[in-house]
Amino acid sequence: MKIHTFLIILLLITLSSCKLVDYDSVKVENETIVEKQIDSLLEIMTIEEKVGQMNQYNGFWDVTGPTPKVGNAVKKYEHLRKGWVGSMLNVRGVKEVRAVQKIAVEESRLGIPLLIGFDVIHGYKTLSPIPLAESASWDLEAIKNSARIAAIEASASGINWTFAPMVDISRDARWGRVMEGAGEDPYLGSKIAQARIKGFQGDNLSDVNTIAATAKHFAAYGFSESGKEYNTVEVSASTLNNVVFPPFEAAVKSGVKSFMNAFNELNGVPATGNNFLLRDVLKEKWRFDGFVISDWGSISEMKDWGYAENDKEAAKMAVTAGSDMDMESYIYIKYLVHLVKNKEIDEAIIDDAVRRILRVKFELGLFDDPYKYCDDKREAEMIGNSKHHEAVLDVAKKSIVLLKNENNLLPLKKNGQKIVLIGALASDNNSPLGSWRLAADDNTAVSVLQGMQNYKGNDLIFKKGADVSIGKTAFTKEVVINNSDKSEFNEAKEAAKSADVVVMVLGEVGFQSGESRSRTNLQLPGVQQELLEEIYKVNKNIVLVLNNGRPLALTWADKHIPAIIEAWQLGTQTGNAVAQVLYGDYNPSGKLPMTFPRNVGQVPIYYNYKNTGRPVNSNNNVFYSHYIDVESSPLYPFGYGLSYSTFQYSNLYLKPVSLMADNPKIEVTLNIKNTSNTDGKEVVQLYIRDLFASVVRPVKELKGFELIELKAGETKAVSFILDKSTLGFYNNNGDYIVEPGKFKVFVGGSSNTSLEKEFELN
Ligand code: BGC
């Protein structure tokens, strides 16, 4: 009897034995039914079939890490037929997914459908901005919508599970994967994690256009020492609990279906084999009921760490710690059966892992219809749908941050100007797609040049000036070789001389950030800085448009260039978004989700630092916490970003509804006025400082924000509530506490705000 017939019979028996249920308990009832179905399945599964569910194979083409020597395509097909594969990654497209699903469902003994995983990181075919850029929008609805579009396209292409969002907090711009996260702040990071999960998973995971999400990489991967990829991490208990964990815990609260291990170790134990992380915190403390997937080959890498002596030991350690599925180590499938039969691991551990995996398959509705994501018509209609282009354009515009705008050089006039556009990135249709765009076609981004060409009232001349780097592929090393050819400098200089405005598009190519793209230098790569300085010698009216996947050190540019726009890598609609901002058809409102340093020596640099025992002082004493060669402050702080409008904050007022530390409630109100002649939007930010605590607290912590629209001259009142959820912190035992004592409250348009008031909890 195939599993589907079996389950239907079981369901009927279960339902017929039920009394009439009230509607409130329907959810619980459904959950119970699923658990009973899983019980029944586990009863008839052989140990080989159980372990098979814990095995994930890569498809046969896209490889994102070193390929193991064992396991050729023939073997993988054979394993599918035997029911020894629970999931595949990097199989995409209805035809391809149907083919592997068919083997699993129709040729294996139990016909358990496959999870089809894929890195849908910032869109599928139609790309949104890279996640760091999107986070600069601080617009949770737009971010959710962007993940929704990604899920619609991916699910139409046969995929039912994404390895996103990456919720790793990072303070180190050298680390290439900062492009994939939400920046440095745990509060903003938690809100964005939840918005993305909601976007991917929707209201009902069994809908045909929703996919399971993954919170990754658990945990502390963003703290790789010296920003070097895959490096060890050193994180204190306080930082772990208060900075690293919150977005992961928020992900669990949002119902995320899976977690992915981190490549790093923590306190000497690789995350993949880390009992504390996976059992104590994730599965017990947070009561996570989804499953944990290893990262690519990370079970096997425990040997390279010098933690597991051999593959068998690695399998035992990982599964015991709570890693439920093996991505491409080929180790679970090889050793777990033997380990159980040999009584070296308890079968209950395997049953728990399989239960977690099957639960997600049930929730996705795969047992009802394993081919639900394999509809050719939907695939043809949904992939690259024009509505998706509109949506990614919307979020792209919202992601742009105006860093500087001296003498209102921006927005540009629409007529009668000679505009000279310089920089290889300006005409690039590929780089703006950013890193992680496995399903997108190369060269499908609207370039800045194309976007600007839509504005026909000006005379637009393009000169490349210089290339950024040599080689632009995802999996090769040569992308890091910066270009050194200056032969086209003169041509660009000649053109720039007579321009009314020079727009220079400089930065990193799409593959200079992302996995394994750490840098030790945060300046413009190649000869771009020189090009900028050469052009500046002949024309000072420069608008610098930055394309990059991480904060850069822009000290020279900030000092000399009158207007600077942070345009990141904005995905498919990059050029249109940038042009609309340049010409004032869209008034920018983005705010930095990560601090921009003055130079790489300041990194790691972040706004929520601790005061030290020797903070900046007013006298001339040299013995305080600072550098002797550069200011301590960042170039651009977290939360910073300008607009074509100007805003004024006033009337900060605290209404203490309850000052009891065990149940505090403080209402914060303020006024914000648009003091310009231009309608605009502003992200109003609320920070606190717990002045004295049993564990030292940061000088500022974000605890609320709201995106406000204000017409020219308009004033609005904004209010926030501070309560237990925002006034506490985790002590070094991992307990969340709110302590009596004094707090400061700050409001403003960046973390560098000074409008403040104080209150005291009893
Ligand atoms: C990355 C993961 C990714 C996986 C599968 C790994 O190298 O660290 O984030 O999901 O590959 O592509």
pLDDT of residue 17: 39
| 662: its two tokens | 């065990």
Whole-angstrom distance, CA of residue 306 vs CA of residue 273:
12
* Bridge-based pairing state of the strands 161-162 and 563-566: unpaired
Distances (CA, A) of 647 to 63, 593, 702, 705: 49, 20, 20, 15
Percent of the chain with pLDDT strictly greater than 90: 90
| 601: its two tokens | 């020596």
For Cα atoms 364, 367, 368, give the angle at the middle one, nearest 5 degrees: 90
pLDDT of residue 212: 98
* DSSP 8-state assignment for residue 75: H
Ligand 1 pocket test: pick from 58, 177, 296 the residue with the most ligand atoms within 8 Å of its Cβ: 296
Q: Is 216 in the pocket of ligand 1 (CB under 6 A)?
A: yes
Can you give the residue ranges of every domain in the chain? Answer: 395-602, 647-761
Whole-angstrom distance, CA of residue 423 vs CA of residue 427:
8
* Residue (of 397, 290, 398, 411) closest to 352 by Cα position: 290
| 598: its two tokens | 């003055």
* DSSP 8-state assignment for residue 554: -
Q: Please name the residues in contact with 153: beta carbons below 8 A apart, sequence gap of 6 or more.
A: 123, 124, 125, 126, 382, 383, 384, 385, 388, 439
Residue 465 φ then ψ, to 5°: 80, -60
Architecture of 395-602 per CATH?
A: 3-Layer(aba) Sandwich (3.40)
| 375: its two tokens | 């509809």
For ligand 1, what atom is nearest to the CA of residue 217? 9
Reduced to 3 states (helix: H, G, I; strand: E, B; else coil), residue 236 is coil
Residue whose token pair is 């009832």 = 29
Q: Is 300 in the pocket of ligand 1 (CB under 6 A)?
A: no
Q: Which of these is catalytic: 295, 311, 324, 394?
A: 295
Going by alpha carbons, the residue nearest to atom 4 of ligand 1 is: 296
Q: Is 515 in the pocket of ligand 1 (CB under 6 A)?
A: yes
Is residue 295 part of the annotated active site? The answer reads yes
Is the CATH number of domain 647-761 2.30.30.240? no
pLDDT of residue 55: 98
* Bridge-based pairing state of the strands 401-405 and 269-270: unpaired
Burial class (CB in 10 A: 0-12, 13-18, 19+), 437: buried
* Residue (of 618, 679, 550) closest to 135 by Cα position: 550
For ligand 1, what atom is nearest to the CA of residue 180? 9
* Bridge-based pairing state of the strands 269-270 and 701-710: unpaired
Q: Is 436 in the pocket of ligand 1 (CB under 6 A)?
A: no
* DSSP 8-state assignment for residue 737: E
Predicted confidence (pLDDT) per residue in 308-334, tens digit: 999 999 999 999 999 999 999 999 999
Q: Is 119 in the pocket of ligand 1 (CB under 6 A)?
A: yes
Whole-angstrom distance, CA of residue 324 vs CA of residue 352:
8
Q: Is 163 in the pocket of ligand 1 (CB under 6 A)?
A: yes
Q: Please name the residues in contact with 312: beta carbons below 8 A apart, sequence gap of 6 or more.
A: 335, 338, 339
CB 551 within 8 A of CB 181: no
pLDDT of residue 482: 80
pLDDT < 50 stretches in the chain:
1, 5, 8-21, 23, 61-71, 478
Reduced to 3 states (helix: H, G, I; strand: E, B; else coil), residue 615 is coil
What is the distance in A from the centroid of ligand 1 to the CA of 176?
Answer: 13
Ligand 1 pocket test: pick from 119, 230, 231, 298 the residue with the most ligand atoms within 8 Å of its Cβ: 119
Residue 717 φ then ψ, to 5°: -95, 140
Residue whose token pair is 């745990």 = 186
Q: Is 328 in the pocket of ligand 1 (CB under 6 A)?
A: no
CA atoms within 13 A on the CB side of 89: 24
Amino acid (one-letter) located at 695: V
Whole-angstrom distance, CA of residue 285 vs CA of residue 283:
6
Going by alpha carbons, the residue nearest to atom 8 of ligand 1 is: 295
CB 593 within 8 A of CB 398: no
Predicted confidence (pLDDT) per residue in 283-308, tens digit: 999 999 999 999 999 999 999 999 99
Distances (CA, A) of 407 to 535, 565, 579, 680: 20, 15, 20, 18
